[in-house]
Amino acid sequence: MKKILLLSTGGTIGCIQTDEGLIPGIPIEELVRYLPLNENEVHISTETVLNIDSSNMQPEHWEEIAKAVYNNYHHFDGFVITHGTDTLSYTSAALSYLLPNLQKPVVLTGSIQPIDAKKTDGVKNLTDAVTYATKGAAGVFVVFGGRVIEGTRAVKMRTESYDAFESINYPYIAYIEGNHIQHNMEVTDKADGELRLESGLCTDVHLFKLYPGVKPEILDSIKDQFKGVIIETFGSGGLPFLGRDLSKTVENLIQEGKIVVITTQCLEEGADLSLYKVGRLIDQSKVILSNDMNTEALLPKLMWAMGKTLKLSEVKEIVESSNTP
């Protein structure tokens, strides 16, 4: 019999309707009663870590969730975390960094409709998550809409559809039908050594999205409030230099010791600063390149790396390395 720990953080799956709208209110013990479990195969224990709408999720909460997994790690065979969908991708990525060397499944899931709604997707998603936590591979994953997604590759694409999440720039890990898991790719053991809990995120990070007409002075006015900035550029990595010159602003940030990450607003295929003049204006050795990482994974990875060191060369090596998730 497999032992699974179900950790609750709130979210739509456990929401109730009030005069103020949907708010988390269904106890985690109540969620378990909706599951069609075979008690001879799996035993589920529960723990409430948080009970919040995921729009209120903060980096400090990521560390609380990671600590809950770490403290219970040797007592269970797998973990399921219920989470609101709005920031689930950020949390799944963060846990991939905060819990290196996992040798058990840690599965995040949620739902578009509360679990007690007439047409809920919560029962299926939670059941599928328990199935993968019981029989699946080691690592952090998102299970939603019958699909298993690498924790650092999940992006919420839709606000109302039951297939809200997609895997970006990476194949789906598996598909789940009933209690059967069909792996879409070979999953290798990525763990090397004992599980660690790596806390101490640096949250002094700003996410800046370019748009036609954006004023470079915006970054100048707030630069004292952050140590690192992720810039979502146009296309393959274009920074405007005519009219409103963002390239000079980036150069000034670098000279002042800010850690600058260049990514793209495009979801798929990643950035390549070498293609156009608007990208080549930036010295690639002095900035961090996102390659094909999505922003939801890039942001917590930068916070995690900067929590270790603020030396540009070291942060660059950590963030750009494919040896980390």
Give me the amino acid identity at 219: L
d(CA 120, CA 113): 5
Residue of 180, 179, 176 whose CA lies nearest to 141? 176
d(CA 253, CA 251): 5
d(CA 142, CA 154): 7
Catalytic residue among 12, 85, 91, 233: 12
- Bridge-partner residues for 22, per DSSP? 17
Three-state SS at 26: coil
d(CA 47, CA 80): 10
d(CA 127, CA 134): 11
Tokens of 165: 């999440």
d(CA 48, CA 26): 11
142: phi > 0 → left, psi -120 to 50 → alpha, else beta; which? beta
d(CA 15, CA 116): 9
Backbone angles phi, psi at 188, to 5 degrees: -100, 155
The reply to whether 12 belongs to the active site is yes
Q: Which residues are catalytic?
A: 12
